[in-house]
Chains A and B, each alone.
Chain A
Amino acid sequence: MMGNLLKWLDHRTGYQAVLSDALYENIPGGSRWRYITGSMLVFAFVTQAITGLILWAAYSASAQTAWESVFYIQHEMAFGWLLRGVHHYMAQSMIILLALHMLQIVVDGAYKPPREFNFWVGLVLMLLILGLALTGYLLPWDQKGFWATNVATNLASLTPVVGDQIQQVIVGGTQYGNHTLTRFFAVHAGLLPALVVGFLALHMAFFRRHGITAEPSPDRSDQYFWPQQVLKDAVGCFVLMIAVVGVVVYTHGAELTAPADASEPYAAARPEWYFLFLFQMLKKFDSEFIGAIVVPGVVMGFLFLMPLTGRVKIGHIVNVVVLLVLLGGAGYLTVEAWNADHFAERNVAPGEKDFAGNADAKSAYTDKYEASEGFLKAQKQAHADYERLVELIERKGIPKEGAVALQRNDPKTQGPKLFTRHCRSCHSHDDGSGEGIVAESNTAPNLHGMGSRAWLAGLLDPQKIKTDHYFGGTALMETDAGMMEFVTGDLANLDADGKDLLDKIIVAVSAEAKLPAQAKQDATAAADGALAAGRAAFEESFDSYACADCHKLGDIGELGDAPDLTGWGSHEWLRGMIANPNHERFYPDNNDRMPAFANNADPERNQLNDHELDMLVRWLRGED
């Protein structure tokens, strides 16, 4: 019955001939493990095509939605991280398999006549796969992919005569944007896969035409493709599958960095590891034309000529040796690039190393160390920015302007950048952990924790007020009057009552700041009367002065010689101080050198606009 049915089916379709043609291909010398790489590449490509198609169903190629949709796949969609991870790591495995496949073909001499065309088709397939890797890297539209791909497309302009035009057509304009994504996506998901399918069909047709390259051996009898070689191929693909899934689970999927921002430098921009050797090579030549066009061109030219030079024995030996040297060289450059970036992790700081007076060695070492330090710092910052962004998205959701808007409006992300740009020439913001921002020259107080009880207690400490942390670098050091005199005189030898008085004042003045981190303590102080006691103490004299003699605090005292402490350290106070320190509330006569950052009626002319000022103050105060 079944037999009759199959017979009928075969008559209508001719499937048996196709099947036996496919399965009963003779393999001289029998099945071997070394033949499995081709099948594994087909498996990997099919995996990419299918996972890619599913990713496509969740991806949106525009500058405001690409990163966002990938983020959504990665963090929200059921097993999205697994799908994206498999696509990402399977792509990487294809690069390794390509190298192994080519090595096997060349070592076994399978590129020699009459198989020249198949070898050339294979090289074209290799270039297409590398093109897929390159175009895919940009699609998440994150900082890493954006900056690395930017370098790659800039290389296109090196093409003689029409380089600039080629670059514009690839990028979809002169600047990266929506059309860069739509173009890369069309090439990645449409053009290149279609070409791969076409060339793969040709590759297999040529392969079947000439058969497998193997010497019949007296010790090994011939076998058909089925079942021994099929089994070996299947095992190879299975191992690959397990390895890729293992890596995906271990790393919890492919990395995603912060969303692309053309105005935000990313010092850790590197291509994916398989292009790292090309990246490293660009550092080796004064002209990137040599590193990016000439050397790769010569190498590709050599590879294309191999079937012709391999006709003679010596040519074949040269081919094998050169190929091994090329792969070894690429491996070496990859390791070198990695080592250069991680140099600072594995070596001591230049200050701790003895150069025996050799200035050149020291300068070279310092350059290397600092370049690596910059890379590692940028990488760490990128991870921190990303973590922060995840937090913001969880809290606020992604606005239609895209996730970049969240970052650009986030005090915690922008505060340190604004501080570095505008305040760091004089102020530090450093908790001593080595992570903070250190001033170029400490000519003004360290603002870390400004407004808190601890910060104020330090300012009122006779031992500390003259240090760099507070007024050590300011012009106040040159006077022996006012605050300096008060702290180093009146507060120098306090008895128990005096200390108690001072503590009360600290609690009350610090409460003016309304710091979020101190909200609980301030509420307790308000409830148990400590605030009222502190305000009363504000008017009490120490040896010579009371605080209220110079400072105003709410309705106590009058505006006069010293800053108004009403709302000291609060959002409003800090905004006012930064906007114009010369205002009568702050330092009308004795401002040391602080500029007014936002004192112009025309906001265009202010150094900090309203929004920046707001973010800077929020960050200083630890507001979220």
Chain B
Amino acid sequence: MTTTNSESTTPDQPPPRERRNFLAEGAAIVIGGIVGLFPVAVGLGVIFDPLLRPKKKGPGGKVIGGGFVRIASLDSLPENGQPQQFPVIADRLDAWNYFPDERIGSVFLRRVGENEVQAFNSVCPHLGCLVSYARGKNYFHCPCHNSAFQVDGEKIEIPGKINPSPRGLDSLEVDEKKLTQTGEIWVKFENFYTGKKEKVVK
């Protein structure tokens, strides 16, 4: 595809190679590299923002999440120890939106004594679906991959039967003082990473 047309601007022969100039080569690589990485580098902060800014602050610097939340009063729980599910209503921060008093999750509460309540996060520790309580059989079941838990939250282990959950349901701390003094159930609502043997707070 050579052409003799005078309009052609394609040089037919490359210019002869110059003597190597290490300084120029090195500088070109370094400066070119910096310039090449610049567009990504400038965005790294935003990409890794979730790791760099872990504490969520609401209006007025209020820390969101992790505190005790009022769930229900003790007399709303049946005395026979059957678990009941309740929504958790608390402030929520979703990036640029602030939601006061929103449903942020749900818990199972269960009366285990005169003034004693067990609380579980409804999130399945396997992969994060929400478990439900099977009344007839008195156990918790996850509709996604069939994890199963006893009514006290322990993982059910039957030989020959697969229970993919790595741990029992995640129990949540109940404020005992408030419970005895006011009959109100306050729970420290936290979410945990799924798929791990141990509980790690998100």
Contacts and interface: CB of A to CB of B under 8 A. Distances in A.
Interface of A: 11, 14, 17, 63-64, 147, 150-151, 154-155, 157-158, 163-165, 167-169, 171-175, 177-179, 182, 261-263, 265-269, 279, 282-289, 291, 370-371, 374-375, 378, 408, 421-422, 425, 440, 595, 604-607
A137 B196 CA distance: 26
Contacts of A263: 87-88, 103-106
Contacts of A422: 76
B20 to A, nearest CB: 31
A282 B134 contact: no
Contacts of B57: none
B150 interface: no
Contact of B164 (A171, A288, A408, A425): A288
B146 A172 contact: no
Contacts of A283: 145-146, 162, 164
Interface in B80-111: 84-88, 94-97, 103-106
A370 B135 CA distance: 12
A286 B94 CA distance: 34
B96 A607 contact: no
Given A168-B50, A262-B105, A287-B166, A371 B141 contact: yes
Contacts of A179: 50, 94-95
Interface string B171-202: 00000000000101000000101111000101
Contacts of B166: 287-288
Contacts of A169: 47-48, 50-51
Contact of B193 (A164, A177, A265, A370): A164
B144 interface: yes
B122 interface: yes
Contacts of B126: 288
12 contacts: A14-B1, A63-B94, A164-B193, A174-B191, A263-B103, A285-B162, A285-B164, A371-B146, A604-B70, A605-B73, A607-B72, A607-B73
Given A175-B191, A177-B95, A285-B164, 8 more contacts: A154-B194, A154-B195, A157-B196, A178-B94, A262-B105, A269-B129, A287-B166, A408-B103
A375 B72 CA distance: 29
**In which size bucket is the chain B interface?**
35 or more
A260 to B, nearest CB: 12
B143 interface: yes
Contacts of A164: 193, 200
Contacts of B132: 265, 267, 374
Across the A-B interface, the 8 shortest Cβ-Cβ residue pairs: A265-B130, A267-B143, A177-B94, A263-B103, A178-B95, A174-B202, A168-B50, A154-B128
A370 B202 contact: no
A157 B193 contact: yes
A179 B166 CA distance: 28
B43 to A, nearest CB: 11
B127 A155 contact: yes
Contacts of B96: 178
Nearest to A612: B87
Contact of B129 (A150, A158, A171, A284): A150
Contacts of A63: 94, 97
A165 B191 CA distance: 15
B78 interface: yes
B51 A168 contact: yes
A323 to B, nearest CB: 27
Contacts of A595: 75-76
B75 A265 contact: no
A157 B201 CA distance: 13
A164 to B, nearest CB: 6
Nearest to A422: B76
Best-buried of A63, A168, A606 by chain B (most CB within 10 Å): A168
A101 B132 CA distance: 42
A615 to B, nearest CB: 13
Interface string B21-64: 00000000000000000000000000111110000000000000
B19 to A, nearest CB: 35
Contacts of B191: 174-175
Contacts of B94: 63, 175, 177-179
Contact of A425 (B1, B78, B87, B144): B78
B195 A607 contact: no
A286 B146 CA distance: 11
A421 B50 contact: no
Contacts of B88: 263
A151 B130 CA distance: 11
A158 B72 contact: no
Given A282-B164, A283-B164, A421-B84, A265 B51 contact: no
Contacts of A375: 143
A595 B85 CA distance: 18
B1 to A, nearest CB: 7
B122 to A, nearest CB: 7
A150 B128 contact: yes
Nearest to B122: A265
A532 to B, nearest CB: 43
A370 B129 contact: no
A265 to B, nearest CB: 3
A263 to B, nearest CB: 4
Best-buried of B49, B105, B131, B143 by chain A (most CB within 10 Å): B143
Nearest to A340: B146
Given A63-B94, A421-B84, A269 B143 contact: yes
A284 B166 CA distance: 14
A622 B47 CA distance: 50
Contact of A286 (B72, B103, B164): B164
A408 B89 CA distance: 13
Contacts of A14: 1
Contacts of B5: 11
Nearest to A151: B127
A282 B145 contact: yes
A173 B196 CA distance: 19
Contacts of B134: 370
Contacts of A374: 132, 141, 143
